[in-house]
Chain A
Amino acid sequence: MLSVYKYIIKRSLLAIPTLLGVSMIIFGMLYLAPGGPVEVMMSSQPASAEQIQDIRQQLNLDEPIYVQYGDWAWDALHGELGRSWSITQGTAVNDLIIQRIPLTAELALLSMILAIAIGIPAGIIGAVYQDQIADHAARVVALSGISIPDFWLGIMLIVVFGVQFQISWASGSWIPLSESVTGNLKHLIFPVITLGTAYSGLIARMMRSEMLDALNGGYIRTAQAMGISNRTIVFRDAAKNAFIPVLTVIGIGLARLMNGALLTETVFNLPGIGQLLVTSIARRDYRVIQGIVLFVAVIFIVSNIIVDVLYAYLDPRIRLSGGD
């Protein structure tokens, strides 16, 4: 067990330079924008040179860039992402993110559950009944899941269920969880179908191939020779071993889920993180963009560490060899 802790510490230390690099890029790139951030932000309404100078001073933009980065990174390290630049708001970026994260998290979590609930059984069925009708059916579903753009699937669900069948919760506006649990869940059904099915194709494909590898393994033949039932072999031995690599896909798939959440929130008009990012780009609200991108990056780096550690815990070869 000790080596697992060692591995966690090693893996976490490796993430520090990555995080530092990510934060520098996120901070630096917005200052590379042609014309300077304030000029671009103000381009929609006429502003005099003095006004621009005032704003620059207010936002501390006249300091050298390393000082600005230092201030921002120091605050970010303390969980403080600055204030929105958008003239109408001035709200803390933290508050904006906290306001919107429950919806995105709920959407992502439910979609992940749906994707696993479809993908893992589909993969197992495909492998057990290899090249039979059930396998072909599972493969067609998986391939469609990967090929159909999720945002289009969302629109089609609205066209069919919302418009043709007049189901009000297929298209109506979102209800917070605190107001009505059933109302909230009902409105998330179609977004979750949209996001979850796309992701399930990825899991099903991976599960099928890993399961095939596992079923062809020598230990399966040994188990069969020992008279252990096929059912036990499939679920206790093969599926367990096949799940380990699939875990990585689930980890990497988080990125896909975030992309999907961005688009799904736009399709169904859900006020989540994705929608905030899209509107912030339109408003050129750099502090909010930086905050969200950093937030997303941290979530990915942390979830990658968790996946790696789980992987090492489940598969001793990696932690014994020091892994990477």
Chain B
Amino acid sequence: MFYMHILIHEYVYQEGTKMGSVSPDSEADQNKSTTAQRSLLQQFWKNYKNNYLSIAGGAIILLLVLMALLAPILAPHSPYEQFETSDDSKFHPAEPGTEIILTNGDGDIVEQTTAYLGTDNVGRDILSRLLYGLRTTLVIGLSVVITSLVIGSLAGAIAGFYQDSWIDNAIMRVMDVIFPFPSIVLAIALLGVVGIGETTYSLPILGTVAVPNTAKIILVISVVYIPRFARVMRGAVVTEMEEDYIDALRTIGASDFRILLSDVIVNTVPSVVIQGSLYVGTALLASAGLSFLGLGIQPPQASLGLMLSNSRDYVYSGEWWFSVFPGLLIAITILGFNLLGDGLRDALDPRYQGEQ
């Protein structure tokens, strides 16, 4: 084991020098001031673009984001309209490909169309709800990661900067307390505090503030991921602080604040962002799980987890389309983020290469 340790270090060191060295195609840029940074970026892109699985992951995510953004244009119907089947005029889950009709209050047919992916238990078009649900799910997954990334890495950066001081201890012990909880158990416990659904708080200065349910869910799941980012960031900052340039900056009288903000954080952010791309998938899974338990997004809003939750009562009666499509879309989304995140990590840190 001990030898392995040294070997890994040697390996990284060699790879590191290789990365920093001038490759033939970047020789022309040699005289520019940003050569070092640029060649790193080029190396990053070179590593990344050879990873076909990761490119595929990126393409999947791009496509899904476009689908979610263009939901109002792409969706054939509103996610709330309740269609009837033309045969017996009932709102029941209609099979994919069924002719469906929309009637107004007087029973006149307003619209006649086909439900390509079927309808749900109250007659809403599944395809349209999938597109709007994807929107909700992506917004929550990305917001969770951004929120916890910002809070977590700030806390971690401060802790790492003042390594072994009381600030470091205070911050990291709080993180230790949050860390052991399984994400959904912690999120559920926190939801016990903030309650489910929109709540209006009367605050001293701001007056009454209405907090929408979606914001609560984002906040509650973010708490789970804050310690993870804090740990990664702290580790990165501690390593960065050993660099010679920090001493140099101190010698010329730079303040702690300046060193931390304009140098240390800037240099360590890429590794944390990559870590973030790896967490989008799990954050999505946690939010879908919460909605599946009926504790996340509330009806009638469309979310993939909630659609799965509603479909549970129809599993035994054979309405398979109700549960198959939302789950498949969640799986594809998570797969895309996992492939993308793995590729980004491999490209940044060659040690991991070939580890999908």
| Complexed CA–CA distance, A130 and B185 (Å) | 38
Which B residues are closer than 8 A to A by beta carbons? 1-5, 7-8, 173-174, 176-177, 180-185, 188-195, 199, 201, 281, 285-286, 288-289, 292-295, 308, 311-312, 315-316, 318, 320, 323-324, 326-327, 330-331, 334-335, 338-339, 352, 354-356
> Which A88-121 residues have a C-beta within 8 angstroms of B?
none
Q: Give A154-176 as 1s and 0s: 1 = Cβ < 8 Å from B's Cβ atoms.
A: 01101100110000000100000
Given A22-B180, A33-B193, A297-B181, is A155 in contact with B327 using a C-beta cutoff of 8 Å? yes
Closest 9 CB pairs of A and B: A152-B327, A147-B335, A21-B177, A300-B180, A258-B182, A255-B182, A217-B4, A147-B334, A259-B184
Residues B354 and A131 in contact, CB atoms below 8 Å apart: yes
A29 at the interface (CB under 8 A from B): yes
Q: Are B181's CB and A214's CB within 8 A?
A: no
Shortest beta-carbon distance, A217 to chain B, in Å?
Answer: 4
Among A216, A278, A300, contact of B295 (Cβ-Cβ < 8 Å): A278
Which of the listed residues A34, A158, A212 has the most CB atoms from chain B within 10 Å of its own CB? A34
Contact A219 B192 (CB under 8 A): no
Picked from B177, B182, B289, B326, the residue with its CB within 8 Å of the CB of A18 is: B177
A205 and B355 within 8 A (CB): yes
Within 8 A of B (CB), among A255-300: 255-256, 258-259, 262-263, 266-267, 277-278, 281-282, 284, 286, 289, 292-293, 296-297, 300
- Return chain A residues, CB-CB under 8 Å to B292: 151, 263, 266
**Cβ-defined partner of A281 (8 Å) among B180, B188, B339:** B188
Chain B residues touching A, majority SS: helix
- Can you list 30 residue pairs at the A/B interface with Cβ under 8 Å? A18-B177, A25-B177, A29-B192, A34-B199, A130-B354, A143-B356, A146-B281, A147-B331, A147-B335, A149-B285, A149-B289, A152-B323, A156-B327, A159-B320, A159-B324, A162-B316, A171-B316, A208-B355, A213-B8, A218-B3, A259-B182, A262-B182, A278-B295, A282-B294, A289-B188, A300-B180, A300-B181, A300-B182, A304-B180, A315-B1
Contacts of A304 in B (CB 8 A): 180
> Is B174's CB under 8 angstroms from A29's CB?
no
Given contacts A259-B185, A278-B294, A286-B192, 14 further A-B contacts (CB under 8 A): A25-B177, A33-B193, A143-B335, A149-B330, A155-B315, A155-B327, A158-B316, A209-B355, A214-B4, A241-B4, A259-B184, A262-B184, A263-B289, A289-B189
Instruction: Chain B residues near A144: list those with CB within 8 A.
Output: 335
Q: Is the CB of A30 within 8 A of B338?
A: no
Residues on B with beta carbons closer than 8 Å to the beta carbon of A259: 182-185, 286, 289
* Distance (whole angstroms) from the CB of A24 to the closest CB of chain B: 9
A158-B316, A263-B289 given; A255·B193 CB < 8 A:
no
A22 and chain B: residue at smallest CB distance: B177
B1-A241 in contact (CB<8A): yes
B residues near A152, Cβ cutoff 8 Å:
308, 323, 326-327, 330-331
| Neighbouring A residues of B185 by C-beta, 8 Å | 258-259, 262, 277, 292-293, 296
- B320 neighbours in A (Cβ, 8 Å): 159, 163
* Cα separation A213 to B5 with both chains bound (whole Å): 10
Known: A159-B315, A209-B352, A281-B191. A18 touches B334 (CB 8 A): no
Looking at the assembled complex, report how far the CB atom of A33 sits from the nearest CB atom of chain B, in whole angstroms. 5
Q: Which of B199, B293, B312, B334 contacts A262 (CB 8 A)?
A: B293
Q: Which A residues touch B308, using CB under 8 A? A: 151-152, 155
A67 interface residue (CB < 8 Å to B): no
Residue A137 lies at the interface, judged by CB distance under 8 Å to chain B: no
Tell me if A26 counts as interface (CB < 8 A to partner B).
Answer: yes
Point out the residues of chain B lying under 8 angstroms from A284, CB to CB.
192
Q: Which residues of A contact B312 (CB under 8 A)?
A: 155, 267
* Interface membership of A1, Cβ < 8 A: no
Q: A159 vs B1: C-alpha distance in the bound complex, in angstroms?
A: 48
Q: Give bound CA distance, A33 to B176, whole Å.
A: 24
Interface membership of A301, Cβ < 8 A: yes
A255 touches B181 (CB 8 A): yes
Would you call A155 and B181 a contact (CB within 8 A)?
no
Given the complex of chains A and B, what is the CA–CA distance between A156 and B195 in angstroms? 31
CB-contacts of A3-35 with B (<8 A): 17-18, 21-22, 25-26, 29-30, 32-34
Assess whether A228 is interfacial by the CB under 8 Å rule: no
Known contacts: A131-B354, A217-B7. The answer to whether A151 contacts B289 by CB under 8 A is yes
Residues of chain B within 8 A (CB-CB) of A87 are none
Measured between beta carbons, the chain A residues less than 8 angstroms from B7 are 216-218
Determine whether A187 belongs to the interface, using a CB cutoff of 8 Å to chain B: no
How many angstroms between the C-alpha atoms of A40 and B196 in the bound complex? Answer: 11
A287 to chain B, nearest CB (A): 12
In the assembled complex, the Cα of A287 lies from the Cα of B174 at a distance in Å of 24
Q: Tell me whether A148 is interfacial, beta carbon within 8 Å.
A: yes
The answer to whether B174 and A317 touch across the interface, beta carbons within 8 angstroms, is no
Tell me the minimal C-beta distance from A318 to chain B in angstroms. Answer: 10
Q: Is A139 located at the chain interface by the 8 A CB criterion? A: yes
Complex Cα gap A315–B195 (Å):
46
Q: Could you tell me the distance in whole angstroms from the C-beta of A102 to the nearest C-beta in chain B?
A: 19
CB < 8 Å neighbour of B288 from A130, A131, A149, A315: A149
B315 adjacent to A163 (CB under 8 Å): yes
Contact A263/B184 with A147-B281, A151-B289, A209-B352 known, Cβ cut-off 8 Å: yes
Residue from the list A17, A139, A155, A256 in contact with B311, Cβ < 8 A? A155
Task: List, in ascending order, chain B residues with CB within 8 A of A296's CB.
Answer: 181-182, 185
Contacts of B293 in A (CB 8 A): 262-263, 266, 278
Separation of A87 and B258 alpha carbons in the complex (Å): 58
Q: How far is the CA of A213 from the CA of B188 in the complex (A)?
A: 39
Kindly list chain A residues whose C-beta atoms are within 8 Å of the C-beta of B338. 143, 146-147
Query: Roughly how many angstroms separate A266 CA and B174 CA in the complex, as a whole number?
Result: 31
User: Which residues of the partner chain B approach A213 to less than 8 Å between Cβ atoms?
Assistant: 4, 8
Closest to B334 in A: A147
Q: Which residues of A contact B180 (CB under 8 A)?
A: 18, 22, 255, 297, 300-301, 304
Bound complex: CA A216 to CA B4 (Å): 8
